[in-house]
Chain A
Amino acid sequence: MNSNKLFKTFVYVSLILLAVSIIVPVAWVFLASIKENKEFYGNPWSLPQGFYFQNFLEAFKKAGMGQYMLNSIIVTVVALILLLIIALPAAYCLARFNFKGRNILNTAFAAGLFVNVNYIVVPIFLMLKDGDSFLKNIFGKGFLLNNLFILALVYASTALPFTIYLLRSYFVALPHEFEEAGYIDGAGYFSTMVKIIFPMARPSIITVILFNFLSFWNEYIVSLTLLSAAGGRKTLPVGLINLMQGQQAKAQYGVMYAGLVLVMLPTLILYILVQKKLTEGMTVGGVKG
């Protein structure tokens, strides 16, 4: 009985240690974001002396984080809309119809699960760069690189294998009576799909949106590569890297931590709202980007 108690204590100590190692640094960043610059030279564990909101204003205006945030919102929203419009019908057909080439397509998309976008970001960059120099010859201007819409398109395209896999596994499990009812009522293929099947798939669609929101919002390698023009448009994580490097050189820590808070706050709020859905959905999809 005694060893049982000892084990229980050990369990609690380990759980609390890990929880502390996560909560403390994250909370520290939040506190640091409202500290004045001179407070960073003393004890790092001291609490902020006041609420120095100036850091956020400076990050937002001077460091351009406001503009970056707007860019991130545009890219994420456009990519999510594109992804759903493209992946939903494809997943539906792959799950519900028999046609030539279905197995090949299924295998191809499944293989795509193993190709991470960071492995292929250089050829994507070169393809767009070559496209730009081709366009320059004709129109005198290239528009493929440094384009938020193209970045969103790349995000959506590289998220297709995971999204189709997840949606397809949902559509496969539905009984065929649903469509038959639609056809008997005289509805065509398209309206049956949009009006009967998609509304039923809402839980899966929400899972897809959650996971892809997090991955698009947090992504930075592709964004760094495709939005490379100096002084051009950037997304929030890339802007944060620049801010971190710049502020560290200038030793303005408060603004840097305010930038960190600006990037993580939206994901944290979303997580707190839907954490149950997220961890449940993960075990259905079970694939990480």
Chain B
Amino acid sequence: MNKRKRQNIFIALCLAPATILFLIFMVSPTVDVFRMSFFERGAYSKTENYVGLQNFGVLLKDTRFIVACQNTIFLIVVVTVVTFALALFFAACLTREKVKGNNFFRIVFYIPNILSVVVISGVFSAIYDTKNGLLNSLASVFSGKTVSVLWKSEELVVISVAIALVWQAIGYYMVMYMASMSSIPESLYESAGLDGAGKMVQFFKITIPLIWTNIRTTLTFFIISTINMAFLFVKAMTSGGPNGSSEVVLSFMYSQKDAGLYGYSMAAGVVIFIFSFALSALVNKATKRETLQY
């Protein structure tokens, strides 16, 4: 009996700090996002007035928010599709093809993932600079005339952000896929090769089905992390500009907080919260297959 009691005290002491901090800094702020979206709160006073769904009503008519939603969805789709395809391709190259310098490529491809988003946005400002940027000067050399594309103009800025996002993410997902691809037994490919299956057929009939569980997990990551990374990149690279044309939902939320419109800001937070969970659940459901074993 005494032993039982001592054990319970030990468990309580071990778990108390983590649980308390988790409640204070994660659970309560999450609940607050939802609660505050129904209130209006002044920038300088603590008083909150209940306004019901008014914040959401205003949000739906706010053109800046609508642009932010469009950009977010565009980035999720484009960045996911491009990164997914490239990461799978490069993972397959490095595991299936006997490439010289295999290790070197893996190490280099992962580098963007360890850099701060602020550093990456600095690197890309050197790439995108209109007058002395690496991209334009390279294009000038190849085309023979002065190229001065405005990479951060209203028309191109979202695509420029998408390129930076893909650049940053490829290595991470590639390493994830490489791990599961390298555990597929070589004999499967050998017998498929004997049956006359080419590389493409092998890739789609053996590799993809066998790493399907891994692909499903990463698709959920793609959604959550693109929403988040798009915010980090936009905030550091463009601050949502020019003219709000590169705003994404989280950066919109943050700018409303800076404007002191806390309730309104949180209404945008609720939208992105629900959106990301719903989309993840949907993708999870749509990609459900019977697990294959080898």
Which residues of A are at the interface with B, using a C-beta cutoff of 8 A? 7-8, 11-12, 14-15, 18-19, 21-26, 28-29, 32, 40-41, 43-45, 85-87, 89-90, 92-94, 97, 99, 105, 108-109, 112, 114-116, 118-127, 130, 133, 153-154, 156-158, 160-161, 164, 188-190, 193, 214, 217-221, 237-238, 240-241, 244, 248, 256-257, 259-260, 263-264, 267-268, 270-271, 275, 278-279, 282-283, 286-288
Contact = CB atoms under 8 A, between A and B. Distances in A.
A124 B29 contact: yes
Contacts of A260: 119, 122-123
Contacts of A108: 22, 27
Contacts of B134: 24-25, 28, 44-45
B90 interface: yes
Nearest to B96: A11
Nearest 7 interchain pairs by C-beta: A218-B116, A89-B14, A90-B18, A123-B32, A123-B29, A157-B25, A120-B29
Contact of B126 (A32, A41, A275, A282): A32
Contacts of A114: 224, 277, 280
Contacts of A109: 22
Chain A contact residues, majority secondary structure: helix
Contacts of A93: 10-11, 14-15
A122 B257 contact: yes
B89 A14 contact: yes
Contacts of B127: 25
Contacts of B32: 120, 123, 126-127
Contacts of B1: none
Contacts of A43: 137
A124 B27 CA distance: 11
A217 B116 contact: yes
A220 B116 contact: yes
A44 B7 contact: no
Contact of A264 (B17, B107, B115): B115
Contacts of A133: 46
B137 A279 contact: no
B59 interface: no
B117 A218 contact: yes
Given A26-B123, A244-B122, 11 more contacts: A86-B18, A89-B14, A108-B27, A119-B33, A119-B273, A122-B266, A124-B29, A133-B46, A157-B22, A161-B26, A268-B114
B122 A29 contact: yes
Contacts of A18: 86, 90, 105, 109, 170
